Amino acid sequence: MASSEELKLLIEECKAQKAGAQRQMYARFSGQLFATALRHTNSREDAEDVLQDSFVKIFKHIKSYRQDFSFEGWMRRIVVNTAITHYRKHLKHQHHQDIAEIPATPRDLENQSDPEFTADELELAIAQLPLGYRTVFCMYVIEGYKHHEIAEQLSIDVNTSKSQLSRARKYLQRVLATLSARAQSTTSNASGNAGFAS
Amino acid sequence: MKENDFDMTQTDADFDARCHALLAEKEVAAPPPGDGLFAQPFPAWKRWGMAGGAALLLATGAALMRNSGEEAASAYDGLDASETMELREVLEVSDAAPSNLPVTENEVTLEEAAMPTPEIVEAPEVATSEAAPNVVREAPVAATASEEPALTQGRPNIEAVAVEEVQIGQPSPTSDAASTSTEPPAVTDPVVVPAASGAQPGAEKAEEEAVPADPKPRLTLPLTLPSGGGQH
């Protein structure tokens, strides 16, 4: 409760354009928003640009923020929209890679239904996705957008959004299963070697 | 039967929930903020400059107010009590009846009929501001104006004297006629002269004509001087 009251006070001070409050806001939320920016961009440099532009928008439009919405969700939406704008701006310079061009995982690992993976592994797998698929997946799964919102933001059809999400999800499940199987085999090999040695 | 790729299974929903839980709250070390991201605090020198400017404005305003008060006080100090009273009467008259200046107002309203309200509002200000400096100069005029009844009452006497002088100084054909003829002296009758109220310009003209012809005009001077003009 105290943190929500502090956040309200911080928001009010940011609405008054106080530099100290803005610094506190940046220190408090920049890590989380930078992670969001990294997921929606192709490089760290792009993510830094997106983060900077996003905070400029946040401080500029914070007066329009209403208390009945999640402040973090409001900021993350700004980051995602900024990343989409950034992506569109640099679209002509980027080589579009379809998800079909990504090398497939071995067949024997595809049927593993519940792979174990960590956050870093998931991020690594997401980073291998083409940006279009990655954006749809992150907007739907991480940020909570609906398909019609994604279609509107990205200027694509709703069915395109659904198909890209499905293909991105299956690809991630394959990659993560591969990683999990390799980790399990490494562990079993290590334990087998240890038993053989003993 | 081929499964629709777009349909989300329970496995997919679980996978999405797990991904969300892992990444939604994840933080990464962010780069330092760029230049100019935060609101710039007001520079100290600008703050001092603003404060100095405000103080200068206040001091100037106070000095102007003091000077205007001293000028008004000195304008009253140079006058006697009677003049001050007359001045106040004139001010009251000019303030209470701005319609006493019909020419000014008519000119303003006719020439500047299309002007908005502020011009009309300024008209009394112009009248009062013009009246204020004229007060000192017009005070004797007002004093003479207040004594006009006395003058008009005295004028028949003057004119009567002038006529009598004319009658005395002139060769007076009428006297000759009176002496020679039997006609009544209607022309030289002083009763004709009292046109002081109605035919005053004519009487003054006759007086002016009569004065140069008078070999002794000194007799009229003390009588034509206004009695209240030199009272100080």
Q: What mean pLDDT comes out for the span A72-99? A: 79
pLDDT at A92: 58
Tokens of A156: 């694509």
User: Which residue type sits at B219?
Assistant: L
Residues of A in contact with B41 (CB under 8 A): 19
pLDDT at A93: 55
A72 vs B47, higher pLDDT: A72
pLDDT at B67: 87
User: Min CA distance, A51 vs chain B (Å)?
Assistant: 9
Which of A98-112, B15-29, B43-57 has the least mean pLDDT? A98-112
Q: What mean pLDDT comes out for the span B186-199? A: 46
Residues of A in contact with B33 (CB under 8 A): 23, 26, 30, 52, 55
**Residue B43 contacts A where some CB pair is shorter than 8 Å:** no
Check A141 against B20: CB less than 8 A apart: yes
Q: CA B154, CA B138: separation in Å to the nearest integer? A: 23
B interface test, pick of A56, A72, A142, A150 with most B CB neighbours within 10 Å: A142
pLDDT at A81: 94
Domain with CATH 1.10.1740.10 in chain A: 1-94
Residues of B in contact with A144 (CB under 8 A): 20
pLDDT at B142: 44
Which chain A residue lies closest to B24 (C-alpha atoms)? A142
B188 vs A60, higher pLDDT: A60
Dump the DSSP string for chain B.
Answer: -PPPTTS--HHHHHHHHHHHHHHTT---PPPPPPTT-SPPPPPHHHHHHHHHHHHHHHHHHHHHHHHHHHHHHHHHHTS-HHHHHHHHHHHHHHHH-GGG-HHHHHHHHHHTTTS-HHHHHHHHHHHHHHHHHHHHHHHHHHHHHHTHHHHHHHHHHHHHHHHHHHHHHS--HHHHHHHH--S---TT-GGGTTTTTTSHHHHHHHHHHHHHH-S-GGGTHHHHS-TTTT--
pLDDT above 80 (res B84): no
CATH 1.10.540.10 matches A1-94: no
pLDDT in tens, B201-231: 554 555 555 555 555 555 555 555 555 555 5
User: Min CA distance, A96 vs chain B (Å)?
Assistant: 22
Report the residue from A38, A56, A142 with minimal CB separation from B37. A56
pLDDT at B141: 46
Check B23 against A163: CB less than 8 A apart: no
Domain with CATH 1.10.10.10 in chain A: 97-198
pLDDT in tens, B120-143: 444 444 444 444 444 444 444 444
CATH code, residues A97-198 = 1.10.10.10
pLDDT band at A134 (very low <50, low <70, confident <90, very high): very high
> B20 to each of A103, A140, B16, B221, how far by Cα in Å?
25, 10, 6, 118
Q: CA A189, CA A184: separation in Å to the nearest integer? A: 8
Residues of B in contact with A39 (CB under 8 A): 23
The ipTM (two decimal places) reads 0.81
Q: What mean pLDDT comes out for the span A150-173? A: 93
pLDDT band at A182 (very low <50, low <70, confident <90, very high): confident
pLDDT at B213: 52
pLDDT at B219: 57
pLDDT in tens, A34-78: 999 999 998 999 999 999 999 999 999 999 998 888 999 999 999
pLDDT at A87: 84
Residues of A in contact with B13 (CB under 8 A): none
